[in-house]
Structure 1
Amino acid sequence: MRKLGCLATLLVILGGATLGWLTHDWLGAGPAAKPVAVIVPEGATLARAANELQRAGAIRSAIRFRGFARLLGNGQAIKAGEYAVPAHASASDVLTLLQEGRVRQRLVAVPEGFPSILVHEALMKADGLVGDVAVPAEGSILPDSYAYQKGDTRASVVARMQKAMRDYLAAAWKRRKPGIAVSTPEQAIILASIVEKETGKPEERRKVAAVYANRLKRGMPLQADPTVIYPITKGKPLGRRILQSELRAKNGYNTYAEAGLPVGPIANPGRASIDAVLDPARSDALYFVADGTGGHVFANTLEQHNANVKKWYAIRHARGEM
């Protein structure tokens, strides 16, 4: 009887200890005082993941984590990836995080109109990406925010960016309106890159596209300042006024010195600018100039345009810019 009593007492003690561990280690607040990063390698077992979690300070005990996971978990497999474990997350919540694969998302952003040289800089600065990559071909990247995980290669991210552009351009080209000024998807990207750099107002894109379409159809030079700047800076801001010698330079890009499209894109245009080129506004406008509000005023004749230019110069004089 004495032995049976001792055994019962021992079971009670062990049961109390298990309940304490359950409350403290499994359901209670975790030990991490701040969010911690944990990488679960591809093919890692629950034991390997538990060791990584304990090493990072996300859980108290790898052994007890595994035990409770097997006893109380739903049996779902854990998923590989980089995780941001919240501060004081319970071990139960950590297991759910790994089972649901809620990996940390890192993003590299490509704004509309970004030249490829700046895309390359953003990729090289992106934390967690590995490997080198060449500057992508201008106009080959679709502006967007691209998710990646730590350890992904820069080349793989560029491949996804370029596939996104190819896919979008192919779909947009099928929707093009008849009678547009460009005859190939490649020409559409070139013209869209100019439209992208000429206006920051979404509502103006189709009208700017119409101006350049009208000029192309008449054999008029496009006279787009961004095409003059591109050979000088590869798309980065010039930071000064364009020189007369630069306006006369013949380099394949200068649309003042030569009629027609430049030899290649001058930036990576976004979806809206591509769409504008493939469906420009109905307009007879051949000219536009800044209106002082961030937008432009459009004109059908040179006489109207010259009057608008005078108004723009007056605004700049009043601002002390000239």
Structure 2
Amino acid sequence: MWRHVAANALTFLMVGLFLLGGLILWGRAQYDAPGPLSEAVCVQVDRGSSMRRVSNDLAEQGAVTSAAIFRIGADYEEKTGQLKAGSFLVEPEASMQEIVDTITRGGASTCGTEVVYRIGVNRVSVQVRELDPATNRFAELASFEPGVDETPPEYSETIAEADTRLRIAMAEGVTSWQVANALNTLDILEGEISETPPEGSLAPDSYEVRRGDDRAALIARMTAAQEANIAAAWEARDADLPIDSPEELLTLASIIEKETAVADERPQVASVFVNRLNQGMRLQTDPTVIYGITRGEGILGRGLRRSELRAETPYNTYVIPALPPTPIANPGRASLMAAAQPDESPYIFFVADGTGGHAFAETLDEHNRNVARWREIEAERAAAGEAASE
């Protein structure tokens, strides 16, 4: 009898183990399988939230088929205690495993609302926007120029939310004074930038920040990023460049940055300046003269005078036969690489062509024809402007 009972018990145990193994395999398959979402959703994880609360929210939004399997999988991977606060984009058909990875790895929020402080060449602006998960595009909620426009209520409401993403977007071609001045006015940061960083030493980019971050620490991040950019460009430079140091490369890149806003033109503009340096010609570029006047503290706001083009200053490349002594702005990676690897061209002249780009020339006669055409375009635009104002 006891032998029969033991045999039955062993059978039940084996069946139970078999069923348990099958259940585990089924649960694992569910955990790794593509999820039920047909459109992306934004999942908000509040500070102090639990994996149970998040899993239930995901189930309510239709992102997971089982909140329990989601939690068990997170426990199995030892990620339950790694839950991070923020707003996270969950892509269509994301598996439970992928969602767990998204909400536990940390880093910047990938959806929800954000405030972008844009430091541009001509102005500083603030943009409040929100990501639409379905289209993966941002919708603007408000935009204003601090100190000029009235602060919209959308900004005050959004900035008060703990999960709002904050970014500082520094444009290519801004000066170090413009960056320092703008950062000193942002009320989300602390500390003070007492000295303007060296010109060209800050990397144009988008920087994630938090309320209360130190301004000097942010400048240090920008500086480290630019040092890496310069080192990479210097390492990749053409062997026959008429450039003797990374500092000269940076200066040339800053001139390229200020001369064209057309990305594809940068290597061609670089070729003109390299050709001029190789031939011992003056660079003859207006942005350096302007920098010599403003020292990068704001924009000139007018045309250059003949006396300024003739004045012998360290930054007047119509007079000096070389690069100016320092960069004239903070160039981005593309301009640094253009300076390091310019196009091979015969051009030594260029002038605006009315499209936002430039007309390039090999000879002075050809250049003069391009200049004459540009003067015609300027006159036509001036006449059209006067007619429109009448």
Distance, in Å, in 2 between the alignment partners of 1:280 and 1:148 is 35
Matched, 1:318 2:364: no
Aligned AA (2:381): R
Pairing 1:291-302 to 2, within 5 Å after superposition:
291-302=353-364
Q: Does 1 or 2 have the higher relative contact order (CA < 8 Å, sep 6+)?
A: 1
Query: What residue number does 1:9 align with?
Result: none
Q: Within 5 A, what are the aligned runs for 1:22-41?
A: none
Report the CA distance between 1:258 and its aligned residue.
Answer: 1.0
CA–CA separation in structure 1 for the residues paired with 2:322 and 2:241: 14
Give the counterpart of 1:182 among 222, 227, 243: 243
Partner of 1:143: 204
CA deviation profile, 1:66-109 (whole Å, cap 9, x unmatched):
xxxxxx9969447898x679xxxxxxxxxx99976566432111
Aligned-pair identity in percent equals: 44
Large movers: runs of 4+ above 6 Å: 72-75, 78-81, 96-100
Q: Name the CA distance, whole Å, in 1 between partners of 2:182 and 2:169.
A: 8
Measured on the aligned residues, the alpha-carbon RMSD in Å equals 3.0
Residues 113-138 of structure 1 deviation map (CA, whole Å, 9 limit, x = unaligned): 11111111231233421100122110
Cα separation, 1, equivalents of 2:352 and 2:333:
23
**TM-score normalised by structure 1 residue count:** 0.70
Equivalences for 1:199-214 in 2 at 5 Å?
199-214=260-275
**Unaligned ranges ≥5, structure 1:** 1-35, 41-45, 51-71, 86-95
- Give the unaligned 5+ runs of structure 2: 1-43, 51-71, 89-100, 110-162, 386-390
TM-score normalised over the length of structure 2: 0.58
The CA distance in 2 between the partners of 1:247 and 1:296, in whole Å, is 21
Q: Which of 216, 224, 246 is equivalent to 2:277? A: 216
Q: Flag the 1:122–1:79 CA change in 2: closer, same or farther, 3 A.
A: farther
Q: What secondary structure sits across from 2:256 in the alignment?
A: helix
Match for residue 190 of structure 2 among 106, 130, 134:
130
Aligned partner of 2:173 in structure 1 is 113
> Partners in 2 of 1:153 and 1:80 — Cα distance?
23
Cα gap change, 1:99 to 1:292, in 2 (>3 Å): closer
**Given the superposition, is the C-alpha separation of residues 97 and 208 from structure 1 closer, same or farther in structure 2, using an over 3 Å criterion?**
closer
Matched, 1:169 2:230: yes
Is 1:257 aligned to 2:335, yes or no? no
Contact kept? 1:108, 1:122, Cα under 8 Å: no
| CA shift for structure 1 position 242 | 0.3
Partner of 1:309: 371
Which structure shows the bigger proportion of residues in strand conformation? 2
AA in 1 matched with 2:178: L
Looking at structure 1, the residues matched to 83 and 242 of structure 2 have their Cα atoms a distance apart, in angstroms, of: 51
Q: Which amino acid aligns with 2:267?
A: R
Please state how far the C-alpha of 1:270 moved relative to its aligned partner: 0.6
